[in-house]
A and B are shown apart, each in its own frame.
Chain A
Amino acid sequence: MPGPTDDKDRTKKTYWLDQRRNVDRLVYGLVAICGLLVVADLFYHKHTHFAFEGWFGFFAGFGFVMCVILVLLAKEMRKIVKRDEDYYD
């Protein structure tokens, strides 16, 4: 069974993502893309089925808020459902 191997050359090599600076750049890039996508709402006519879809930035706000709620609720859920790994053994 091939397991983790200790390859010194590969361990030493630094990757672009290893630098905190570059990760920050990615985050700023994501924020910029998000900003552009919201602004884009001003420049086209939305074809919608429901009135609320037409609200400015509806999908952006919904995506952000619901994901935060999802994670925080799931975290609370852990208090009830989480058990030790060998619970069933």
Chain B
Amino acid sequence: MTESLNPALILILGGALLPLAPDAVRRWGTLALPVLALLALLSLPFGEYGQIRVFGYALVTLRLDSLSFVFALIFHIAAFLTALYAWHVRDTVQQVAALVYGGAAIGAVLAGDLITLFVFWELTAISSVFLILARGTERAFRAAMRYLIIQVGSGVLLLAGAVIKVQATGSLAFDYVGLDSPGGLLIFVAFGIKCAFPLLHNWLQDAYPEATVTGTVVLSAFTTKLAVYALARGYPGTDMLITIGAVMTAFPIFYAVIENDLRRVLAYSLNNQLGFMVVGIGVGTELALNGTAAHAFSHILYKALLFMSMGAVLLRAGTVNGSDLGGLYKSMPYTTAFCIVGAASISAFPLFSGFISKSLILTAVAAEHHWFVWLVLLFASAGVFHHSGIKIPYFAFYAHDSGIRCEEAPKNMLLAMGLTAFLCIAIGVFPDTLYAILPYAVDYEPYTTTHVITQLQLLMFSALAFTVLVRTGLYPPELHSVNLDADWSYRRLLPMAFRHLGSWHQRLTDRVTRTASNSLRAVFDNLYQHHGPQGMLARDWPTGSMVIWVAVLLGFSLLLYYL
């Protein structure tokens, strides 16, 4: 069955043909293509399709199983919702980029071999960068170039790892890779970059907030969750991931507390949510991997919803700086409500999606007796409510009234937010619908008395802490500022090092040339002195004196002869 249509190609080729269509067709196309691709996905039974041979290697371009299905499904839903959110945008570049990018992410998730994965991996990087460039500012351009270099670099590492792997094993299949296998470490780092591992993370907080209003929403859905899928496929049960994930949940929330740009706050909390998924992969049990898949599914929805609400604020109020906003609930009541649904979902309030997905991971961690990691995750759960659950809605829509009075978000944005909010609540209220499509059978009941009450205690007392800190004036004010993060190393340290290296090199070459030219000059001066116009050896001697000298020499030799 090699003739089955790959849903990814519907989006990529459809997207590529879109610029040829008239405006109205193009707009409907952005909505219709994800639906068509979804139908193609749903009509496929699990199995391997699209097998081709390239240079003697077997490629499986389409593999549908229980793990790839969950990710492919949510990517399709995200592609549709983000297209609806961007319905009012009449920018062909963004329309095409979003479709091709979503298609590439789906293609990568469905890839059965490392070469197909690599091709789609790089296509996500190249297509998504246009969503940042489309912002049209100098800042966005520079952020986009940094983003592109890092993303393409990740793909190059993936390819290098794949080449080493195929040299050693003769197989390109994308199954369990593991750190010990040939090329395994390179592929791990490639995935780690896209998954925003600590110290490799900063492209995310750097680039996402610089993208367009709608572009950031699209970006938030695909790249990092593709990396989560790739790690879950290639490195389940890798112990190192538990530590990496735990660090990822904890450290970005400190930045989130002091960050002013609310879309950047969300980028930090995106990083924190990825941490939970990475911990799940590291634990690697069926329950944990179910947790990772479930959390990726609900995360894409509530994170998109939060980015949508902040995008609407940026569009209408002209800024998303916490320091300049406040009181917007008066102008944008629906956006406020949808934002709160997203906030409740990411905070894992009972009856919202995060509650039924994150708890799978926490339970799996507890079941393996990682008590310290469990406490870190609990701290991160309280922290995420603190900065995403409360800070985002509070500083944008409440706090002190900034005096900004603007229009409510456009209707298509409200519709997209409404649908996403509906899904967040539906998943929270009917968790079995999501549990039914997870990779492994689920034997877990999220709504127990203990779980509901302890979770509410955690969240309400976090809220109480926020209230106390704000009321006592201890809460740090929102300030116009830049907070140094790991990107400082390549935005400042490296250029500075290069400049120093450059000036040192300059000084060295100066000295070498000076010494060389000095000694050369000495040689020339010496030559000049003896052979120059005034030089002893270059003087015109009178013929007579030469004859005398010859006579002297002859006389001398005659004398020697007689002796």
Which residues of chain A have a CB within 8 Å of any CB of chain B? 1-7, 10-11, 13, 15, 17-18, 27, 30-31, 33-34, 37-38, 40-41, 44-50, 53, 57-68, 70-75, 77-78, 80-89
Contacts and interface: CB of A to CB of B under 8 A. Distances in A.
Contact of B453 (A13, A37, A82): A37
Contacts of B467: 27, 30
B510 interface: no
B169 interface: no
A55 to B, nearest CB: 11
Interface stretch (B29-37, B227-235, B479-487): B479-487
Scoring A37, A67, A89 by chain B CB atoms within 10 A of each residue's CB, the highest score goes to A67
B419 interface: no
A73 B460 contact: no
Interface in B341-397: 363, 366-367, 369, 371, 374, 378-379, 382-383, 386
Given A50-B371, A74-B258, A85 B480 contact: yes
B53 interface: no
Contact of A67 (B318, B465, B476): B465
Interface in B430-458: 448-450, 453-458
Contacts of B457: 34, 37-38, 41, 57, 59-60, 63
A71 B466 CA distance: 9
A5 B331 CA distance: 10
B476 A5 contact: no
B464 interface: yes
The 6 closest A-B pairs by CB, nearest first: A67-B465, A49-B366, A63-B461, A74-B257, A59-B457, A64-B461
A47 B386 contact: no
Interface string B175-202: 0000000000000000000000000000
Contact of A44 (B255, B403, B449, B479): B449
A25 B484 CA distance: 39
Nearest to A31: B464
B288 to A, nearest CB: 14
Contacts of A7: 405
A50 B398 CA distance: 39
13 contacts: A27-B467, A37-B460, A59-B457, A60-B457, A60-B460, A60-B461, A64-B462, A66-B382, A67-B469, A74-B476, A82-B481, A83-B481, A83-B483
Identify whether the interface residues of A are mostly helix, strand, loop, or mixed.
helix
B135 interface: no
Nearest to B410: A2
Contacts of A89: 139
Scoring A7, A66, A84 by chain B CB atoms within 10 A of each residue's CB, the highest score goes to A66
Given A2-B406, A85-B480, A86-B482, 11 more contacts: A10-B331, A30-B464, A34-B457, A48-B450, A63-B460, A67-B469, A70-B254, A74-B257, A75-B476, A77-B254, A81-B258
B476 A85 contact: no
Contacts of A86: 482
Contacts of B139: 89
Nearest to B256: A74
A53 to B, nearest CB: 7
Contact of A81 (B317, B471, B484): B484
B32 to A, nearest CB: 29
A47 B139 CA distance: 52
A47 B453 CA distance: 11
A6 B475 CA distance: 31
Contacts of B404: 4
A50 B483 contact: no
Nearest to B317: A4
A31 B468 CA distance: 10
B454 A59 contact: yes
B374 A46 contact: no
Contacts of A80: 484
B467 to A, nearest CB: 6
A79 to B, nearest CB: 10
A82 B466 contact: no
Contacts of B480: 85
Nearest to B142: A88
A62 B386 CA distance: 13
Contacts of B479: 82
Interface string B398-412: 100101111100000
A78 to B, nearest CB: 5
Nearest to B362: A49
Nearest to B449: A44
Given A30-B467, A50-B371, A88-B491, A74 B254 contact: yes
A65 B107 CA distance: 45
Nearest to B261: A85
A64 B455 CA distance: 13
B145 to A, nearest CB: 13
A34 B484 contact: no
B266 interface: no
A49 B467 CA distance: 31
Contacts of A41: 453, 457
Contacts of A74: 254-255, 257-258, 476
A83 B491 CA distance: 14
A59 B405 contact: no
Nearest to B316: A2
A47 B450 contact: yes
Contacts of B401: 18
A63 to B, nearest CB: 4
Contacts of A15: 329-330
B423 interface: no
B261 to A, nearest CB: 10
